[in-house]
Amino acid sequence: MELTALGPCEIWSVVGFILTKICICGLAASLSGRLSILLTSDSFYPPKGGGDLSLRILARHLSERGHSVGVAYFGRADPDFATTALDYPFPVRGLWPRHMVIRRILNRNLKKALDEHNPDVVITQQMALSPTVDASHERGIPVIVLLRGVDLLCLGSFWSGAEKRCDYRCIGCEDAGCMLVQYPLFRREITRIRSSLRLAEVVVSNSEYTRRTLRSIVGVESYVLNPPVERVAEGGRVRESGSVLFVSPVRHKGVDIAIELSRRLKNEHFIFAGRTRKSIAREIGRLSNVDYIPWVLDMGSCYSASKLVIVPSVIPEGYGRVCAEAQSHGLPCAVSAIGALPETVGDAGDVVQNHRDVDSWVEVVGRYSDPDYVREKSQKALAKASDLTTHDEHTAAIEALIKNLIANRRT
């Protein structure tokens, strides 16, 4: 075959033809539902908590639906996705110093990630939200914020548990406590967070409590979409007896209350599951009626051995994932009357109004020594589990938000 050199006009004609084909193919892909989606988070792989697990499962389900999914975060490279994995330059202690470092590093690296992935939409959560919204808006890319809780809206993470309209005058506020040393950084970072939440095209709250708090102190409306929980095909059953299960034995989850409760209810057997500090682990180890499991890959065995899950959190939970998981196994929960815990549990358990009073916990947990009471609450837990959001339903809802968002921007 004879090759013929092309002149300048012919070259530009060919280039124009190729670019036109690329644009048509890209438009066709978008119209057919295939999208490029970038997820950003402060952590993702390995997952550090329920929010990371939910985001990773969302990424997998979006990918299985035919979308191109990339992720930018701090951690190790994930073999399952096209990732931009970043490293901390040095260990950072404290919520607000960590937020400042994360924001600055993401500010430097997100532009590159956006150029590499060229997303139609960006989904972000928690500490990554402020730099993500800023970088995306510079390029005209819409952003969906997944708000997993309210800890980023308050210096002391609403430590008192009271619902109130925060004025950010933290000095003298009981929520601030020892966090006042971080107050100057907090004031700088919260200004950026509030601005970013107002710029984001869509904000998704994980509970009615989170939605109310966001509206009250930032003035932003949001959709409510509960985090997904895998429904248990086998293992969900009515309970009459078993152990009392406590997950994540750390201070803000109420480990001090759980330890004192186990001391007072010596006839009950307790299971404490999850990593904690060595000093707390030693204290737990001295309790004769407590089995401590520091690392649990599959919580199913703990749920199977239990009759009740206690959640004595001392700061408000944004949702209460462990409660939803417990319900899917037919387990009732006794929870603190703060945050989203009461709405997550409903009548499938008990709410401790004076949640810092151990005597109140002794009274409530004591009810579960009666097999008939356990059975009644367990049946209600299984009934409530049927209304839990599955991963498929959660992904479909997010996908619908994305397509609606893109369609509205084109009109």
What does the alpha-carbon distance between residue 275 and residue 147 come to, in Å, rounded to a whole number? 25
Q: Which fold has domain 35-228+390-410?
A: Rossmann fold (3.40.50)
Cα–Cα distance list, 140 to 106, 132, 222, 367 (Å): 18, 12, 21, 56
What does the alpha-carbon distance between residue 200 and residue 136 come to, in Å, rounded to a whole number? 10
Q: Which residues pair with 121 in a beta bridge?
A: 37
Query: Is the separation of the CB atoms in 337 and 355 below 8 Å?
Result: yes
| Full pLDDT tens readout for the chain, 411 residues | 333 333 434 333 333 333 333 333 343 344 346 899 999 999 998 888 788 888 999 999 999 999 999 999 999 998 888 888 888 777 888 889 999 999 999 998 998 899 988 999 999 999 999 999 999 999 999 999 999 999 899 998 888 887 777 778 888 888 888 889 999 999 999 999 999 999 999 999 999 999 999 999 999 999 999 999 887 766 689 999 999 999 999 999 999 999 999 999 999 999 999 999 999 999 999 999 999 999 877 788 899 999 999 999 999 999 999 999 999 999 999 999 999 999 999 999 999 999 999 999 999 999 999 999 999 999 999 999 988 999 999 999 999 999 999 888 766
What does the alpha-carbon distance between residue 351 and residue 338 come to, in Å, rounded to a whole number? 9
Which CATH code is given to the segment(s) 243-385? 3.40.50.2000
In whole angstroms, what separates CA 264 from the centre of its chain? Answer: 33
Of 161, 176, 144, give the one whose Cα is nearest residue 213.
Answer: 161
Q: How far apart are the first and last CA of the chain?
A: 48
**Same fold? 35-228+390-410, 243-385:** yes
Of 262, 243, 236, give the one whose Cα is nearest residue 368.
Answer: 243
Instruction: Please give the sequence-ordered ranges of beta strands (E in DSSP) within 65-194, or none if there are none.
Output: 68-74, 82-86, 121-125, 143-147
Q: Where are the domains of the chain?
A: 35-228+390-410, 243-385
Counting other chains too, the contacts that 290-293 makes at CB distance below 8 Å and 24 or more residues apart are 290/262, 291/243, 292/249
Pairing label, strands 202-205, 223-224: parallel
